[in-house]
Amino acid sequence: MLLGIDASNLRAGGSLTHLVELLRAAVPAAHGFERIVVWAGAATLEAIEERRWLRKSHDPLLDRALPYRLFWQRFRVPRLAALAGCDVLWVPGGSTASSFRPMVTMSRNMLPFEWREMRRNRFAWRTLKNLLLHFAQRSSFRRAEGLIFLSRYARDAVIGFAGDKTKVTIIPHGIESRFSCRPRAQQPIGEYTTDKPFRLLYVSIVDVHKHQWHVADAVARLRTSGLPVAVDLVGPAHGPALAKLNATLRRVDPTRQFVRYVGAVPHRELHRFYAAADLNIFASSCENMPNILLEAMAAGLPIACSRRGPMPEILGEAGIYFDPERPDEIADAIRRLIESPDLRREKAEAAFERSADFSWARCARETLAFLAEVVDVDHLRSKR
């Protein structure tokens, strides 16, 4: 069999990491695939490692703006996949205008399906963009023969928009081995000072559903109570959300003594920030499959985490949870961990052990097995 992958809308972030790591770990022959061909822009193809069974196919249209990529999906990839002899076309980016059959896509983004979160942008362009994505992805899901979800939470929230004939599975992401670090010995808070504070870390884009300003407020409350804590906020920023964060910082930490916004950091360097932290915070209210949470689990850190979305499904009993829109709850969750080295050790070890369930080898194996299954099901239907 031959697998075609339409990676035309994978350009950066977790979706690109997913494809790169999956192909690195893949053993296609074990699932009946002799060859895999990937269509993508130049930068995406450059990020994918060479394999003897892999053909990377570049089209200049895929380096251009969205309308050109949509044109390519609608009119070019069906013909290219047919000419290549593809038995199935996989679209890991989620949305597609392709008419090729059989086709498998993925649900990667919860924002277009969670109205409460979408409304945080009010009537901005991003709200319209998410509405357009909602209808584009719903159409893609209904036309697909197979649909991959990353979590049970996402499946339960989105499954009603998929067609009745669509075959469904749940396959979570994996974690790169460089993030793996066994939990460290936990010291009493008395060992820390304002000059050598207990270091908190929150890695995520600054955005309206990530609530960094509430985290900053919570850390300020802990400082006011006498706890020697400091937090690093790491990630790129959406303008209005960054303005909201900066307004909070001017109020709670105008001289930046204990809240540091680091900004964007290349993904290849993120493991160093986890290694330098004492505790991880994850305060998002809208996620599908948060890679950042997986990375913190593998890094052996105690975790204070939002109870929204799929986070309890992923972290289980290995975290202390809070409402991400309640600074007092965020502060209380962090305080519980800070004041008890034994609780920190227990939660960090549980999170580290749980992280072993999320591997790219497993993700690759289950994904290729599902794609092969869709081919078989479609073949049986065509014979009837």
Better-predicted residue by pLDDT, 201 or 125: 201
What are the strands of the beta sheet with 320-322, ordered from one edge? 259-263, 229-234, 198-203, 279-282, 303-306, 320-322
Cβ atoms within 10 A of the Cβ of 379, count? 11
What is the per-residue pLDDT for 381? 53
β-pair type (303-306, 279-282): parallel
The residues near 7 (Cβ < 8 Å, ≥ 6 apart) are 19, 38, 39, 40, 44, 92, 93
For residue 382, what pLDDT band results from cuts at 50, 70 and 90?
A: low
Amino acid 177 reads S
Q: Which residue has the tokens 């884009």?
A: 205
- Average of pLDDT values for 86-101? 91
* Nearest alpha carbon to residue 7 among 125, 121, 98: 98
Tell me the CA distances in angstroms from 255 to 221, 249, 281, 343, one per residue in order: 16, 9, 22, 32
Task: Flag whether pLDDT at 51 surpasses 60.
Answer: yes
For residue range 13-44, list pLDDT tens digits in order: 888 989 999 999 999 999 999 999 999 999 99
Q: Average pLDDT, stretch 142-160?
A: 93
Predicted pLDDT of residue 378: 60
Q: What is the pLDDT of residue 384?
A: 43
Q: Give CA–CA dist 292/264, Å, rounded.
A: 14
Q: How far apart are CA 212 and CA 24, in angstroms?
A: 34
At 383 the pLDDT is 44
Residue given tokens 């996620």 in the structure block: 287
The single-letter DSSP state of residue 50 is P
d(CA 83, CA 271): 43
Of the listed ranges 94-108, 237-251, 286-300, the one predicted with least confidence? 94-108
The Cα–Cα gap between 335 and 115 comes to: 32
Q: Tell me if residue 211 falls in helix, strand or coil.
A: coil
Determine contact, residues 183/300, Cβ cutoff 8 Å. yes
Q: Please indicate whether residue 66 or residue 192 has the higher confidence score (pLDDT).
A: 192
The confidence band for 165, taking pLDDT boundaries of 50, 70 and 90, is low
